[in-house]
Amino acid sequence: MVVLVGIAACQDDPAPTAPSDASPTLSTPQSAKQSKTYLISFAESAPGDLAARLASAGGNVKKINREAGVASVESDAADFAQRAGAIQGVEGVGQDRVVQWVDPNERFVDAGETPGGSGAGAASIGDNEVLFGIQWAPKSIHAPEAWDLGARGNGVRVAVLDGGLNAAHQDLAGSVDVACSASMVAGLNFNQDVGTFSHATHVAGIVAAQDDGLGTIGVAPGATIMGVKVLNGGTGTFGDVIEGILYAADPSATPGKENCARADVINMSLGSTFIPTKEDKELLKALDRATKFADKHGVTVIASAGNAAVDLDEEKKAVTIPAMSARVLAISATGPVGFALGATNFTRPASYTNFGKALVELGGPGGDGVLPGNDVCTLPLPGFGTITNFCWAFDLVISPGSLTGNGYFFAAGTSMSAPAVAGVAALIIEKNGGSITPSQVQAALRQSADDLGKPGKDEFYGHGFVNALRAVQ
C-alpha cells in the first residue's frame, strides 16, 4: 500500500534539498521564564538571616529549607541572581524553568474497565486479579515468588512524585494515604489534573495496586502510596519537583501535615536528558541538595533513566535528571516483543531506553511496543474470559491509569520500569522491618539483581535486572 503524502502544511516553506541535520532549525523559543522564580542552593555557613538578605537583594522568599540548603525565591529584580549569589554561603542561583507535557487523546491503549471481581482474596495472591494473565512485568522480576514468601511491602511508604493521582481508583483506594498526600502545585489538590489518563495513577498501580481480585496487582501490593503532585497538565517546575522531594522526605515540617510520616521510597518517573548550560547547573545543584536531603532522611530515591535511546557513556556532557542526581538510582527499561504471540524475552533491552554505565544502576520491566503490524490478538484471562487488543499492546505494561473512574491502560517507558524497582525496594524495606538505610536498600537491590548482559555493571542493566524473589530471600 502506498501512503499518500500530504505536504500542504509545508507549501509556503522552501523545500530543502540537502539532508538536514538531526537538529532542526526551530522557531525562537518562547520564554519559559515568566515566573521569575529562583532556586537558591546554600551551604551551612549561610547566615541565619539569609531570608532577610535575599529580601534585601530584591527577592521574596517563598520557601526555605535550611537543612537541605535550598530556597525558592521570587524576584522581578534584573540583578537579583547577581546580588543573591554574592551573599555569603550562597552556592548557586538558578532561574526556575517551567516544564510541560501534554496528554493527547491517543495517549494510551485503554484496556477498559474490568468487570470487577469478587474482591475475595486467594490462597496465592495475584492470580485472582482479572488482568493478572497479561501482567508479564511483575512476573518478569519474580514478584509472585516473592509474594509466596510473604513479601507485600506492608508498612512501607512510597511517594509517587508525578501529576494528579486517582486515589479513588478501585485498585488503589485504601492504598493511598490521602491525608498525607500533597500537591506542590498551587491551587490544586494532589488528585487533580487534566485529561483522562493519569500517569501518576499508572505509576502508583505498578508499585502498589492492591491484592483485591479486581484488576491488576502491584509489585508491593501492601505498600502505602503518598501522592505528591509536582506536575499539572504536564506543566511543572524544578522548584515543584524539589519541593516535592523535600516534602516526601519530611512531611511533618509542612503545616497541617505534622502527623505524616516520611516516605521510605520516592519514585520519580519523570526527567530530561540534555547538555546543561551554566544556569542549568545551578538548578542541578539545588536538585542534588534535595535528593541528598531525602537520602539523609532515610528515603531511597528511584528515577527513570529516560526514553531517548541516548548512550550516556558516549555523550559525556549530557545528563539525565533526576536519574543522575545525587543518591538516585536510575532505572533502564526492558520489554518483550510478541508476548501475545508467546514471546518470553522480558529482559530484552527496550528500544527507547537511555543507557550507559554512567547512568543505569538497574534494569526493570518497562515494555516496548515495537512488534510490527497492527494485528489483533485475543488472550485468555483465566477465570474472567478473554481480552482483545493490538498484539503489540500486550508488550506494554498494564496498570490502573484513569484520572477518574477505574480504567486500566497499557503504557511503555522507563516511567514504568522505575516503579517496578520502587516496589522491590518496598519489599526489601518491609523485610528489614523498616530499619535499613537507603544505601543498604540500594546494595540489596544491586546484589539481588540478575547480572544480565556483560558480566558486572553494563550499559543496559547496570548492576542487573531487578529480582524481587532474591531481594527478599
Partner 1 sequence: MKKVKRPGLGRAVFALALGALVSVAPACLSGQVDDQKVPWSDADSIVAVGGSRIGLRVVAWRDFMPRIGPDRSDGSPLMVSVQIVSLEPKPLPDGLTADSVWVRSPEGVWETAPSSEPRPGLPNGMELILRGGPRWNTDQRIDVLVRLHTADGSVHHLQVRDQRIGRTE
Applying the rule CB under 8 A, the residues between 241 and 270 that interact with partner 1 are 241, 269-270
Which residues in the 28-67 window bind partner 1 by CB under 8 A? 29-30, 32
Residue among 152, 117, 441, 199 at smallest CA distance from 302: 441
Helix (H) or strand (E) holding 295: helix 278-296
Number of residues that bind partner 1 (CB under 8 A): 86
**Residue 192 binding partner 1, by CB under 8 A:** no
Q: What are phi and psi of 417, to 5 degrees?
A: -75, -35
- With b for 16 or more beta-carbon neighbours within 10 A and e for fewer, the 120-153 pattern comes to eeeeebbbbbbbbbbbbbbbbbbbbbbbeeebbb
Q: Say if residues 386 and 183 touch (Cβ distance below 8 Å).
A: no
Peptide bond into 322 cis (omega under 30): yes
Q: Which one of 215, 236, 462, 464 is in contact with partner 1 (CB under 8 A)?
A: 236
Contact mark string toward partner 1, 283..322, x via CB under 8 A:
----x----------------x-xxxxxx--xx-xx--xx
**Residue 4 binding partner 1, by CB under 8 A:** yes
Q: Give the Cα separation of 391 and 371 in Å (integer).
A: 8
- Please, which residue, 249 or 318, has the CB nearer to partner 1? 318
CB of 47 to partner 1, least distance (A): 30
**Residue 97 binding partner 1, by CB under 8 A:** yes
Q: Give the Cα separation of 20 and 418 in Å (integer).
A: 35
Q: Which one of 176, 206, 231, 471 is in contact with partner 1 (CB under 8 A)?
A: 231
DSSP class of 262 = P
**Residue 447 binding partner 1, by CB under 8 A:** no
Q: What are phi and psi of 142, to 5 degrees?
A: 65, 35
**Residue 99 binding partner 1, by CB under 8 A:** yes
Q: Which stretch binds partner 1 (CB under 8 A): 3-11, 36-44, 86-94, 130-138?
A: 3-11
- Please, which residue, 213 or 366, has the CB nearer to partner 1? 366
**Residue 165 binding partner 1, by CB under 8 A:** no
445 vs 224, 300, 303, 432, 470, CA distance in Å? Answer: 20, 11, 14, 13, 9
**Residue 415 binding partner 1, by CB under 8 A:** yes
Which residues in the 347-406 window bind partner 1 by CB under 8 A? 349, 351-352, 355, 369-370, 372-374, 392
